[in-house]
Amino acid sequence: MIRKFYSLSITAILTFIFGSLAIISSFIPKVTVNNSYIFGHWWARSLLFMGGVKYNVKGIEKIDYNKPTVVMCTHRSHFDILGLMSSTRHPVSFIAKQELRKIPIFGYSLECLGMVYLDRSSKEAARNSITKAANQIKEGRIVVMFPEGTRSEDGKTLQSLKKGGFHLIKEAGGYIQPITVLGTERALKKGSLTITPTTITVRYGEPFAVDDKDSIENLMEKTRESLQKLVTQGE
């Protein structure tokens, strides 16, 4: 119970501090979304540190930040996001559920950091969200997606990949960068609010180009094979 209270308190305090800084910076002239992202980076690193979670980064040299890229990442825990944001200071955007926008400070601060909320209220709204994300990719921003949709139960078995993100990739073009964050299911178990000290590993795989001739199914299969290879390599 004490550990749970500590985890919730630290998360709330750090989110308030760094979220507020991100929001304030968005009103300062000449401060871009990329500049504000540093607050997201340190928010993630601070949460890991205060929770006693150490992290290793492997293969980061494989990603080319100068090319339009969509990151496809395995999904084991909410801490996957912290691992990714901690691993690089280069601005990244996440495709987030519209419901998160309603969370005080947290929701708006994510938007200030360039996150894209997926509005599923109508086909047109969803399409506009995808177009916004595609434009970010074309402008050189890295966009992160979790193609499994839901978190893996055991942290080893990949869930079925969802097609939605691959329509975005077809529209934006560029490269797919596979990444897995290993061990986050230990740091924050599914259904739990308690942070457990452990070590996680952010592993970057080999990127591959999106060919105009590639079908959605073909891209999904290539991505699944790449992610499964990363998971098999282990920590």
What would the pLDDT profile of 30-52 be if each residue is shown by its tens digit?
778 778 889 999 999 999 999 99
What would the pLDDT profile of 114-168 be if each residue is shown by its tens digit?
788 877 777 777 778 778 888 878 777 888 988 886 666 655 667 788 887 788 8
Q: Which residue bears the tokens 């939605």?
A: 164
Q: Residue 89 has which token pair?
A: 């200071």
Core vs surface per residue 148-171: b (16+ CB within 10 A) or e: beebbeebeebeebeebbbebbeb
Q: Which domains does the chain have, with CATH numbers?
A: 2-233 (3.40.1130)
Report CA 79 to chain centroid distance, whole Å. 9
Average pLDDT over residues 16-43: 87
